[in-house]
Structure 1
Amino acid sequence: MQTTTKPHLHSLSHRGYIQGLTFSAATTNTPLCHFFSNLRYGLPAQRWRRASPLPSDYSYGTKEEPGKCEKGAGVCPQPAFLGPVDRSGWSEDCFQVNVWVPVGDAPEGGWPVLFYIHGGWLQFGSPNGFSGTGLLGDSPVNTIIVMPAYRLNVFGFLYSSELEHDAASVGETTGNHGFWDQRLALEWTRDNIGLFGGNKENITVAGYSAGAYSTFHQLTYDLSLPAQQSIIKRACIWSNSPAAQPKYPPEAQSQFNALLTALNIPIILPDSEKLARLRAVDPDTLLIAATSTQFHQYRPTSDGAFVSRDLFKSLENGKFAQRFKERNIKLLLGETCNEPKLYSLWFPPKDNTLDALRTRLIAEYPTSTVDALLALYYPDNKLPPGQENWDSDAFGHIYADMQVYKIQRGLIHSLVSHGVPDSSIYRYRVEMRVKCAEKQIPIEWGVTHATDHFIWFWGNGEVLEEREKEAVGRALIGPLARFLDGDGDIGWGTQSHRQMRVLKGDGEVGIWEDGFWDEAMRVWGAVPEIRDGKESARL
């Protein structure tokens, strides 16, 4: 969409003044939305320490010298995907949000709020690659969008006993710093969104891919708190799931030790010296070393603070469902019809062998989970019909099943089998590509993971064709707008959790009886490690 911008001064009351931008349609000069970027939600923090909330007297600027909020949020140092490494904007001080606000007067009670967490396998990405101009200016959605930057990869998810002792010395927890960053940004949103005309009592947390995975963990943490501390009313889990119980500290320690070895830091050094050397390494060198080891994926740890050590057990025994039902949470979740293609391209196995596939998956999931999965999928150690190689077909298939297809259905099963009504769950399936997706994702990849970014964000800065707008609006974005508003009936059309609302390839809307359900239940029920993260009987 062709747009123009002009400065927009906004008062944040006791927080002072900020200057953002008003986006307008270039052809008509019609205002589309306001944009405020790089708004700080937390104070700078030392590497692998928790960020602190802003003090009560923190001010962004004065009317005469307002805080400049026209550039993007800080970008956590990160590896590249499908292109060269882009170091522009890199900063470990990335505790900022981008905020998109509708034009005009807020409704009574304030605008609903969409807190959106970007994806990228928890290893890369930023909120700067998203545009709210089309969604807020040309679709049925009228909501404030808050997009946080947060620490990623080795900066956001490294864990070890050394870091644990270091954090304890200052009264902190360790590990899962990226999740704590997201939570801090969510609390900032609750406390400050009224200054933009938002309703702090009407916050939906959403995310795509790793952002959807993050959404699940943010919801889980939120449900563990007393009701008066709860923030989340609804959640959108777009193309992801709980996946598996995160690794326990001993396996996370192996990753830490491998990083030390890659950086030639002796493991026998005192804890304080090891951390001092790690903290002195420049971001680029640290990132190169972190991605060079066997354990190159930095993901959450079952630390007992943010991530319960019994998280998957709570799914199985109904405790999670009970809290979900008590808080009356509504959940919108689903998938594209060809998730595996893009998944297969992220750090694929180094060789075309079963052993290489196992090694790659262990970088992602607990070893016990990986071994149980491989025994289930490949009981004779051979590729089944339809899969031609281990390093692409098999990897993409099992990776997409874990991250989306199978375990997302396991989550739904865990909810409805313990009393959550079908009416609380809205499932979708996308089988249509919009043309502008071709600018980033080759058409021959089909409706793969991330092609529907351009649907959920109404072109995400590109232009949807008129026929696409009609189809997308009718199928998904109209109902999404009602979902965010908190309407009781969003016109979804499904009658049970076994049905999915489908945006078909021709733009028509249908209701699909889930053809993957029984196979998903076989995976969910046959692999005990997926449910409780502990060793148990083999198949």
Structure 2
Amino acid sequence: MRASEPYLRDLQFRGFVEGLTLLDKQSLPLCHYFGGIPYALPPTKQFRWARPRSLPPCFRYGTSASPGKYTGSCGVCPQPQPNEDAWDEDCLQSNIYIPIGDPPQQGWPVLFWIHGGFLQFGNANDSNPMKMLSDTDCKAIIVMPAYRLNVFGFLASPELLNVSSDTSANLGFWDQRLALEWTWQNISYFGGNASNITIGGYSAGSHSTFHQLAYDLGLPDNKCIVRRALMMSNGPGLQPKSLDEAQDQFDELLQALEIPRELSAAEKLLKLRSLDARTLVDATTRIKYHQFRAVTDGSFVRVGLMREIDNGSFASRMKTRGIKLIIGECKDEHNVYGTWRPPSNDIDSLFQRLQADYPTASCKALMRHYYPGGKLPTDCQDWKQAFGCIYADIQIHHLERGMVNALVRHGAGHLIYRYRIEWRAACCDRRWPKDWGVTHGTDMVLWFWGDGDSLNKAEQQLIRAAFHDNLAKFIKGEEVEWGTQHPLHIRTLKANGSVKCEEDRWLEEGLKVWDILKEVGTTRQTVAARL
């Protein structure tokens, strides 16, 4: 266990809390830490699949005589990963990291960081920003929320929406939003500046960041929270499936659980809530539509959200609020992407695998474009590798380019900072095979200054010059020196450690795929959304 000392803080009307001051090997302070602080009431028992509930006004974390003890970590939502001992549906909590020393006059800037994991797995306890806060200029309070995942966070059907006013789709996104609102309302008690919040995330956390930004842009100015955004190794994705398509997945889950379809919606929900988490998770691994993702519900995810990007309304709102965006990718994202629930080695299996994530019409369009005549691409060894490549293109490379191009086309280019990582730190060899190259996740050691591993002096100097000094300025709200000549230029960290601002060689193909998907991207919405 890392060396630490108790750290007490008075949260005023929220009471007193005890966290930790985390120490290095020389017993010098790295940062302050509070682990597992609730931002909502537990989403358990009769509240499974209910909209997250705010803490009541009378809620106190502790008293001066008996402070609430938050020295552990967030609960881990049940998930299809072999760590069942850590599972806890009572997971609506955040880990909070605070720099050492006195905050600026207006308070520390705030980074609201959303963890990744395909929206199916992961937790808020895996990232490690301690050395970043102690050793770099990136001094900010970091809030890392846990949220509901997979079937617990993204189960949806028209039936569920009609059971009661409490049930909802996109619960994982609603959890993130409530955590963000909690941060906005309470971060000043931790020394933070509520008017200077950057949201960001990696992988599915980046995808979540897009949806949180989209939701925030849809609110009146007096309710907006976001000032800047970091979208790292993920893009906007496709317009999510309709509720009608989600019903197919819901029916398949009921069948796997032997719950009769002829029951009323209320009876189905009651039976689902009576099952233990292990049973539910196991059932999701046996069905065709095994990925639980966002749906177009007309509430959190607006109908025609992708059209808003294309027609300029998204850019207009970003310009009005001056919201800047850092967005980018790694060179070899596909090597990790191809490992998540890969298909069997044939084209039909690949098509079925894509349908687990995306609307069927989009999948058909992608299959026609990528595999004309049903042939394996010449640059792929087998269909499993082909899946990794197409999955990375849609989740990251191509859809990111379509979004950025639309923002630039509608006059928001001055708000965009693009990057690409082609360099890999030595410590990555302990987590990823060398032959995977600069794959998905390898750059987290860059952004989080080792992310729990060690960087040598030369690597630290390289990372500062390439990105980290600018990252610190960005989060503080200061002007960055990106070096690009125009908004579609990419700031690239090359394999030899040099930085080159260059043209985007993959832009044309990305826009081609964006346009193909745009033709089939209007989600059919035949069930009235409950607003």
Range with greater deviation from structure 2 (352-361 or 317-326) = 317-326
Which segments of 5 or more consecutive residues in structure 1 lack a partner in the other structure? none
Task: Check conservation: 2:32, 2:100, Cα contact below 8 A.
Answer: yes
| Residue equivalent to 2:354 | 361
The DSSP-based 3-state class of the residue aligned with 1:471 is helix
Displacement of 1:173: 5.5
Instruction: Confirm or deny that 1:411 pairs with 2:409.
Output: no
> Aligned letter for 2:409?
S
Matches within 5 A, 1:497-512: 497-512=487-502
Using structure 1 for the length normalisation, give the TM-score: 0.95
Secondary structure in structure 1 of the residue aligned to 2:48: coil
Q: Which secondary structure state, in structure 2, belongs to the residue aligned with residue 380 of structure 1?
A: helix
TM-superposed CA distance for 1:3, in Å, is 5.1
Q: Distance in 1 between matches of 2:348 and 2:261?
A: 28
| CA distance in structure 2 between the partners assigned to 1:439 and 1:86 by the alignment | 20
1:99-125 deviation per Cα after TM superposition (whole angstroms, max 9, x unaligned): 000011000101000000000000001
CA offsets per residue over residues 351-374 of structure 1, 9 Å max, x none? 211111000000000000000011
Change (3 A) 1:533 1:376: farther
Please say if residues 377 and 386 of structure 2, whose CA atoms lie closer than 8 Å, have aligned partners that are also in contact.
no
- Residue 530 of structure 1 deviates from its aligned partner by 5.6
The structure-2 alpha-carbon separation of the partners of 1:173 and 1:305, relative to structure 1 and needing over 3 Å to count, comes to: farther
Aligned length: 522
Percentage identity across paired residues of the two chains: 48
Q: Give the equivalent residue in structure 2 for 1:387.
A: 380
2:516 is aligned with 1:526: yes
What secondary structure sits across from 1:527 in the alignment?
A: helix
CA contact (8 A) 1:316 1:531 kept: no
1:449 pairs with one of 440, 455, 459: 440
2:363: which partner in 1? Answer: 370
Structure 1 residue aligned with 2:83: 86
Asked if the contact 2:470/2:481 (under 8 Å) is kept, the reply is yes
The question of 1:97 aligning with 2:94 is answered yes
What's the counterpart of residue 458 of structure 1? Answer: 449
Query: Within the alignment, does 1:482 sit opposite 2:473 as a pair?
Result: yes
Pick one of 32, 35, 38 that aligns with 1:37: 35
The one-letter code of the counterpart of 1:72 is: S
Conserved 8 A contact 1:12-1:18: yes
Rounded Cα–Cα distance in structure 1 between residues aligned with 2:236 and 2:524 = 16
For 2:380, what is the secondary structure of its paired residue?
coil
For 1:14, the equivalent position in structure 2 comes to 13
Relative distance call for 1:73 and 1:424 in structure 2 (3 A) is same
Distance 2:520 2:407 in 1: 16
| Alignment check: 8 A CA contact 2:199 2:230 kept | yes
Of 288, 302, 309, which residue of structure 2 is paired with 1:308? 302
The secondary structure found in structure 2 opposite 1:519 is helix
Q: Residue in 2 aligned with 1:49?
A: 50
Q: Which whole-Å CA distance do the structure 2 matches of 1:142 and 1:196 have between them?
A: 14
Cα contact 2:233–2:440 (8 A) shared by 1: yes
CA-to-partner distance for each residue in 1:188-241, whole Å, 9 max, x for gaps?
Answer: 000000001100000000000000000000000000000000000000000000
Deviations 1:486-527 (A, max 9, x none): 01x211111212211111222221112111011111111233
Q: CA RMSD in A?
A: 1.3
**Whole-angstrom distance in 1 between the partners of 2:282 and 2:180:** 31
* SS, match of residue 86 in structure 2: coil
Per-residue deviation, 1:172:
3.7
Residue 469 (1) aligns with residue 470 (2) = no
CA contact (8 A) 1:312 1:533 kept: no
Gaps in structure 2 of 5+ consecutive residues: 526-531
Which residue of 389, 396, 405 corresponds with 1:397? 389
TM-score (norm 2): 0.96
Distance 1:203 1:284 in 2: 37
Name the structure 2 match of 1:108. Answer: 105
SS in 1 for 2:247: helix
1:424 aligns with 2:415: yes
Q: Offset at 1:534?
A: 5.7
Question: Is the deviation greater in 474-483 or in 440-449?
Answer: 440-449
Residue aligning to 1:276 = 270
Report the Cα offset of residue 161 of structure 1.
2.0
Give the residue type in structure 2 aligned to 1:9: L
- Contact kept in structure 2, 1:436 and 1:462, CA below 8 Å: yes
Is 2:156 aligned against 1:165? no
Which residue identity does 2:452 align to in structure 1? Answer: G
Deviations 1:363-413 (A, max 9, x none): 0000000000111111211012111211x2210111000001000000001
Aligned counterpart in structure 2 of residue 234 of structure 1, from 211, 217, 228: 228
CA contact 1:524–1:531 (8 Å) conserved in 2:
no
Is 1:295 aligned to residue 289 of structure 2?
Answer: yes
1:296-344 deviation digits (Å, cap 9, x = unpaired): 0000010000000111111121111111111111000100000100000
